[in-house]
Amino acid sequence: MPRWQRSIDAEVPAWFWRAVDTPSREGRALVDGCEIVYRCWGDASKPPLLLVHGMMAHSRWWDFIAPQLTDNWLVAAIDLGGMGDSDFRYDYSGDTFADEIKAVCDAAGLDERVVLVAHSFGGAMSIKAVNRYPDRFAALVLVDSGLRAPGEPEPERPSLRVRRAYPDRASAEARFRVQPPQAVRAPYTVRYIASQSLMPVDGGWAWKFDDDLLAARSDVALAAEEVASLALPVALIFGEDSAHCPARTVEYMRELIPGTLLVEGITDAHHHVFLDQPEAFVHALQKILTTWL
């Protein structure tokens, strides 16, 4: 955020500024002719962890989370294809997203100890990556990401209308909203992400994702068999107020996953858990990771 904004954001805690000011290293992996961007924080000698964002998000959603994990981990974060600074494709598939996750691990030098921490849509794509490359990953933390039980009603999802360009950054940032909609309980996290989510285009500023992404997807739905095939340690962090990952979904994931599912619920958090309660999220994640170190 601009320095001037700090003086008016009195509610922003000091740890947040320390985190977002922590430098990262950018790299690129080539997957099917497209460049996939990733960033890294921390010491390469430590065990690796890859952060995977949700639909229409990007690696900078993790800017205030990743630096808090570097005492014990080498942390990387990916921009999935069609999102963030990665290239846009003509079509997107579950297999391709899985290939991107694996390719970034290879390009970033993350060894077979790598733990995936994946939010929402990124969780589903990470499950696909684990099944596609079972020897490449050590553990998986799903963040408000799960498969709904048969017959469990889906929450209402608003249609996404994408306005291609805004005339200036300020008007664009003012229009930023998380999906599914919610009142984020730590609004400074959303203001920061909005400031990092724009790219210049002809006619102004647009969000850093492919407008055709939703229509160009195929084979991204998660099947029960894919969850039941997971043969590595799995944990689930969910928002206790989330409509995306309600109690029945958590129990269904317990039923499907062959081993013990570690579960951490975050109080006063919706689907965007680490935006609502970033400190509680980091505490829960560190608690899980400690059991696997």
**Residue 10: is its pLDDT beyond 90?**
no
For the segment 1-13, the average pLDDT, to the nearest whole number, is 61
Rounded to an integer, what distance in angstroms lies between the CA atom of residue 257 and that of residue 232? 10
User: In one letter, which amino acid is 185?
Assistant: R
Share of the chain above pLDDT 90, in %: 87
Residues 145-168 as b or e (16 or more Cβ within 10 Å = b): bbbbbeeeeeeeeeeeeeeeebee
Give residue 100's pLDDT.
Answer: 98
Q: What is the pLDDT of residues 79-122, one digit of tens each?
A: 999 999 999 999 999 999 999 999 999 999 999 999 999 999 99
The CATH architecture one would assign to domain 25-148+222-292 is 3-Layer(aba) Sandwich (3.40)
Provide the token pair at 179. 């999906």
**pTM of the shown model:** 0.95
Taking CA atoms, 61 is separated from 55, 102, 167, 259, 280, in Å, by 12, 20, 24, 30, 16
Please state, rounded to an integer, the average pLDDT across all residues of the chain.
93
**Residue 59: is its pLDDT beyond 60?**
yes
Give residue 11's pLDDT.
Answer: 82
Q: Where do the domains of the chain lie?
A: 25-148+222-292
Give residue 4's pLDDT.
Answer: 40
For the segment 18-28, the average pLDDT, to the nearest whole number, is 97
Q: What is the pLDDT of residues 223-272, one digit of tens each?
A: 999 999 999 999 999 999 999 999 999 999 999 999 899 999 999 999 99
For the segment 182-189, the average pLDDT, to the nearest whole number, is 92
For the segment 183-187, the average pLDDT, to the nearest whole number, is 92
